[in-house]
Amino acid sequence: MNPFNVLRDSLYFFQRNLRQIALLCLPLVIFETLLQQLLDNAVGPDASPAYGLVAGLLVYPLYTAALILFLDARSRGETPANRDLLAMSLRLWPRFALLSAVNTIAIVLGLSLYFLPGIWLTVILAFSEYLLVLRGREPLRAMKESFALSRGHFWLTFTCILCVMGPLWLLKGLSLSAYPAPQNPVLTLVIDSAHSFLQLFSSIVLFRIYMLIGENSAKD
For position 141, what pLDDT does the model report?
96
For position 49, what pLDDT does the model report?
64
Contact (CB, 8 A) for 39 and 55: yes
pLDDT above 90 for 159: yes
Contact (CB, 8 A) for 220 and 208: no
pLDDT digits (tens, 9 = 90+) for 19-66: 999 999 999 999 999 998 888 777 766 656 666 677 788 999 999 999
pLDDT digits (tens, 9 = 90+) for 57-107: 899 999 999 999 999 999 999 999 999 999 999 999 999 999 999 999 999
For position 177, what pLDDT does the model report?
83
Q: Let me know how long the chain is.
A: 220
CB contact set of 85 (below 8 Å; sequence gap of 6+) = 24, 66, 69, 70, 73
Q: Please state the rounded mean pLDDT for residues 168-187.
A: 83
Using CA atoms, how far residue 16 sits from 40, 125, 178, 207, in Å, is 36, 28, 31, 16
- Angle of helix 185-219 relative to helix 3-16, nearest 10 degrees, comes to 120
User: Domain coordinates of the chain in residue numbers?
Assistant: 3-219
